[in-house]
Structure formats: C-alpha cells, structure tokens
Amino acid sequence: MKSSHFHRAAAWALVPLLLLLAGWLYLYTHSHSVDTLAQGQTLAWLKDLKQLDSDWSADVLRSHADIHLDYDALVAPLVPFVDGLARLRKLAGQAPGLAAATDELAQAIEAKAALIDDFKAQNSLFKNSLRYVPTAHRDIQSRWPAGSTQLDRRLAFLVNEAMRYSALPDGAVATSLLQGIAGLRTGSAPVPPPLREAVANLLAHLDTLLRLRSRQSDLLRAISQVPVAARIDSLAAQFTQRFDAELASQFRYQRLLLAYSAVALLLVSSGAGFIAYRNATERRRLRLLVEEKTHELNELATRDELTRLHNRRHITELLAQQMASHARSGLPICIALLDIDHFKTINDRHGHAAGDAVLLRFATLARQVLRAVDLLGRWGGEEFLVLLPQTSLDQAELALQRFGDALAQIDFGELGREIRISFSGGLVLLAPSETLVTAVGRADEAMYRAKTAGRRRIEKG
C-alpha cells in the first residue's frame, strides 16, 4: 500500500518537472535562434558581391576604350549575381522586411543584364562591319587598280579614319568621317559605274560603324550607372539592422534562461533530494523486510518450530560438513543421540502442552550447558542429536553428564505438577572413514542399550 502511494506521488511529481522542461526548452530555443555564422557569411557574401559589381563596372569602362575586349568578360560576373538571387529570395522569405530590398536588387541586376544583352547584339554587328570595311576596300582596289585617283585616296582616308575611330572614339574623327561619307554620296569624287554598288556598301558599313560605336559608348555608360552597388548597400544595411535586433532579443532570452535555469535547478534539486530520501527510506524498509523474511524462511527451513534447534535435515547437513572437516584435520568428533525418558508418559498424564514445555526447557538448557561449538538438533519426537567437535570420548561423556545433572534440577512447578526429566544417551567417537549413517546407527544402538539398562544413563558405542 505504501509503495503504491509512493509511486502515485512520484508520477504526480513528474508533471511539474515536465512543465519546467517545456519552459526551459522554449527559452533555450529562443536564446539560440540567431545563427551568427550564417549571418556573418551572408554579410561577407554581400560585401564580395559589391566588390564584384565594382570590378564589373571597371571592366565595362575599360571595354569602352578597348573594342577587342571579349564580351564573355562582361557576361561572366552575371553568373554569381543570378545564382545569388535564389539565396537572397530564400532569406527574404524568412524575413519579410527584406523582400522589398531584395526585389530592388534583383531589378537592378536584371536591368544591367538587359543592357549588356543589348550591348552584345550591337557589338556583334559592330565587329562584323569592322571586319567587312577593310575587305570591301581591298575588293574595290582589286577590281579597279588604284593609283593616284581621287576616289581611291578618299576611300583609303575614310577606311583609316574608321579604324582609328573604332579603336579610340573621337568627336573630330567622327565629324571628318561623316563629311567624307556625305561628300562621296553627293558626288564630290566620281565613282565608276561598275564600282558604285561596292562603294555604296562600303559607305553603308562605315556609317554603321559610326552609329554603333557611338551607341556602344551610351550603352556602356548606362551599364556602369545601374545602381547595383547601392541596392547591395541597402540590403546589407537592412540585414545588419535585423541581425542586431535579433541579437538583442536573443540576449534577453539568454538572461531569462539563466534565471529560469537557476530556479529550475533549485526546484529539481529539491525534488530530487526529496525523491532520493523517499527512495532511500523505501529501499531501507524493503531491505529490512527482505532480511526479516529471509531470516524467517531460513529459520523455517533449518530450525525446529518448537525448540528452535536445528531440524533433522539441517543437522544432517552440518554433520556432513563437520565429518568432511574431520577427514582433513584428523581431530576427534563425538556424536550422541539423547532420548528423554518416559516422555510418552508425560504427554499421557499431563497433556501435550506439558510435553511441549518439557521439550522447550530441554532444548534451552542444552544450549546453555553445552559449548558454543557443539551442535544440537532435534532428531525426531523426543530424540536429540549432539555433535561435539574436537572432543574425545571421555570429554564428551563428562559434558553430557553435566547436562544430565543440570536437567535433573529443573523444576516444572509453574505447570502445577511434579515433573522431573532425564535422558538416555548413546555416545560414539567417529572412526576414520566412517560414514554418517554408520556413526548415527552406532549411537542409536548405544542409546537403546542405555534405555534397556534402566534409562538415565549414557552408553558408549
């Protein structure tokens, strides 16, 4: 009953512990909600992105002066920008306040990409025309050998000026080219009929070179002016502001967690101490109960219920152990069987209660008179077996006589009757290599002789 009550109390004690744990987990989660590593990596990535945009803008300006710069050098920086948009949108999804800044950066990157796509298309046309002009001039020269003609000089001048303008745009060169092209078209220099179509195509390509080169300058300036860096700065500032706010919130939760942990630890320690005390008390009670029941069971298994002497089974085991020790040491051991004289008459005349009192008094006196090393057990009914280790036959006989004399002095007057008891005994000395059955049988024969010889005596076997 007590154990059941204790377990119910322990079960109820778990409820506040679970509530404490839930509260602690809530505070712990919020006190570790900021991923400082991820935040640091994001800010570092935005810084690298800004540097990439700065380098990108420088490459665009350099390409304005170097017409042979590969277009791929301008397109390559778009890759990390485009790849980073997915990451930025994911972060913005976790923090809605960053969505607007992320969209503005995405729009700036898309605008820059669109301008570069336009630049790529025009740059392709420009390079085609640039390659065509020298080829067309050589074709005209092959079809009409040049020399000192005015047309050849005009065409050579225009081609050279076009190449110079393509390499380094200059307003004066552009003006000269436009005037030269206009003069040829108005007939300032006669063009033979077979060459008119070729000259017209050449002039058209020269005009295209001028127009595309001028348009390239405008596109490159527009590309460099797209505010990608400003959008990155704005996004980084908002990330930093949000990160600072989250850190401040995390610090508050950490302080709360510290205080909560101290209180929870105090409560848990108190509860654990109480439970430990109750467990220790319960274990001690159960240990004592087990020891008590074990002792009771051992007593029931090895002791005679009335006299509390060793019962026949146990005294037999003890005899076997002593005989094994005797075989090793060679020291003498005596065995005696004692039978209370006229015990049946006592039972018949005075009742079984008186008989039980006689048996109990007999056993009590035997424990008092005999040595502590001597073993005494109830063999059956009114018969008792005594084992006297390290004792010669004469010494054993004297010990049993002292016990018989003391037994004769017992007064059973408290029973209201005149009862005197004695015993008849058979005493033997254990012979070398003798078995237990043989030794007890010899003692039983000697006891029978004592009873036949008149009782109240000890016969040696």
pLDDT in tens, 217-274: 777 778 777 787 787 787 778 778 777 787 888 888 888 888 888 888 887 787 778 7
Q: What is the DSSP letter of 67?
A: T
Query: Looking at 76-90, 189-203, 304-318, 368-382, which range is the least confident one?
Result: 76-90
Q: Which helix (H) or strand (E) holds 8?
A: helix 2-31
Average pLDDT over residues 184-190: 73
- Please give the structure tokens belonging to residue 317: 């085991």
DSSP state of 303: B
Q: Does 10 score more than 60 pLDDT?
A: no
Provide the 8-state DSSP code for 226: S
Query: Binning pLDDT at 50, 70 and 90, where does residue 148 land?
Result: very low
The residues assigned a catalytic role are 382
Q: How far is CA 352 from the centre of its chain?
A: 73
Q: How confident is the model at residue 120 (pLDDT cuts 50, 70, 90)?
A: confident
pLDDT of residue 313: 92
Could you give the 3-state DSSP secondary structure of residue 375? strand
Percent of the chain's residues with pLDDT above 70: 82
Query: How far is Cα 331 from Cα 276, in angstroms, rounded to an integer?
Result: 54
Which of 68-72, 378-382, 438-442 comes out lowest in average pLDDT?
68-72
Q: Which residues contact 288 (CB under 8 A, 6 or more apart)?
A: none
pLDDT of residue 441: 94
* Summary mean pLDDT of the chain: 80
For residue 213, which phi and psi values (nearest 5 degrees)? -65, -40
pLDDT, tens digit (0-9, with 9 covering 90-100), for 58-72? 766 666 555 555 556
Q: What is the pLDDT of residue 311?
A: 93
Strand partners, 383: 339, 380
Three-state DSSP class for residue 429: strand
- List the single range of 114-118, 395-399, 435-439 with lowest mean pLDDT: 114-118
Given a cut of 90, is residue 155 above it in pLDDT? no
* Lowest mean per-residue pLDDT among 18-27, 64-73, 142-151, 290-299: 64-73
pLDDT at 422: 93
Q: Beta 423-429 vs 383-389: how paired, if at all?
A: unpaired
Model confidence at 33, pLDDT cuts 50, 70, 90, reads: low
- What DSSP letter does each residue of 42-102 carry, written as one string? HHHHHHHHHHHHHHHHHHHHHHHH-TTS-THHHHTTHHHHHHHHHHHHHHHHHSGGGHHHH
Residue-by-residue DSSP string for 137-178: HHHHHHHS--SS-HHHHHHHHHHHHHHHHHHS--HHHHHHHH
Q: Is 134 exposed, middle or buried (0-12, 13-18, 19+ CB in 10 A)?
A: middle
Instruction: Judge whether residue 15 has pLDDT over 80.
Output: no
- Per the rule left: phi > 0, alpha: psi between -120 and 50, beta: everything else, 202 is alpha
Measured between alpha carbons, how far is 167 from 250 in angstroms, rounded to an integer? Answer: 60
Q: Give the pTM.
A: 0.44
Asked if pLDDT for residue 57 goes beyond 80, the answer is no
423 neighbors 401 (Cβ within 8 angstroms): no
277 or 8, which is more confident:
277
Amino acid 68 reads H
**How many helices (H) and strands (E) are present in the chain, helices listed first?**
14, 5
Q: Can you tell me the mean pLDDT for 166-180?
A: 77
Around Cβ 237, how many Cβ atoms within 10 Å?
A: 12
